[in-house]
Amino acid sequence: MRNLAILIPTYNESSTVIQQLKNLEIFRDSSADAISVLVIDDNSPDGTANLVDNLHLSWVQVLRRPSKAGLGAAYRAGFTKVLANDSYTHIVTMDADGSHSIEDLAAMISAITPGKSITLGTRWMPGGSVVNWRKTRQLLSRTGTKYAKFALRLNLKDLTGGFRIYSVELLRALNLKDMQATGYCFQIEMAMAADLAGAVATEVPITFVERKNGVSKMTKSIVIEALIQTTRWGVVRRFRPNADKLHYVK
């Protein structure tokens, strides 16, 4: 039996996180795998952390961080906490706002391969889709993935999606403390690191639904950060490939 920890980063998600936890509770009760949740809250002014704590769910923990420091920093803190427990086999990264569905989670879990692995929920492949996104937002996501694929020589169809399952074996092989990406380019960095570590990558089509409540965390500065970082990584991969691997892989 697999033991999965689901990491859910939050910042002002009081209007969405409760429903996501209710969905996960239904899934957990019917799953053959052991499933727990770690909500990683960056000191949300709307009281998200207290709201989750007050549910008193034995399978849900809250990791309280002092301030908002970006998606990458939140996930790395979550990885560190979960990896301190030797009982887990896989770590899932998932949004709090309902954009990632439980049905797709079940399909992704079924697609997990043994050993060092990364299972990616993919929007831009046959069977995948997005709902309620403007054409400009779709173009931005598709273009970002195409550029990252070219710059980093990664044969993946969706490099910026956040719905993923990492094997603990893979995460323990990476120098997580040396990673620096803070925004959504954290997803690109993790895909690149997994490739350098020789992980098996499996893409599963998902339907991504734009949030109905709360505020999107995507900003122009996040897009610019991803472009600059990806270009830097691409240059290093071409001209200093051994140094690149030593930086990311133990």
For 200-236, how does the pLDDT look when each residue is reduced to its tens digit (9 = 90+)? 999 999 999 986 655 555 566 767 777 888 888 888 8
User: With contact defined as beta carbons under 8 Å apart, do 203 and 159 qualify?
Assistant: no
Alpha carbon distances (Å) from 175 to 163, 186, 245 = 21, 14, 10
Instruction: Report the distance separating Cα 195 and Cα 192, nearest Å.
Output: 5
Give the pLDDT confidence of 27-49 residue by residue, as tens digits. Answer: 999 999 999 999 999 999 999 99
Count the neighbouring beta carbons within 10 Å of the beta carbon of residue 136. Answer: 8
Give the pLDDT confidence of 96-148 residue by residue, as tens digits. Answer: 999 999 999 999 999 999 999 999 999 999 999 999 888 888 888 888 889 98
pTM above 0.95, yes or no: no
Domains and CATH numbers, the chain: 3-248 (3.90.550.10)
Instruction: Report the distance separating Cα 28 and Cα 33, nearest Å.
Output: 8
User: With contact defined as beta carbons under 8 Å apart, do 208 and 161 qualify?
Assistant: yes
Q: Position 152: which residue type?
A: L
- Residue 98 DSSP SS3: coil
Position of tokens 């920093």? 73
pLDDT recorded at residue 220: 67
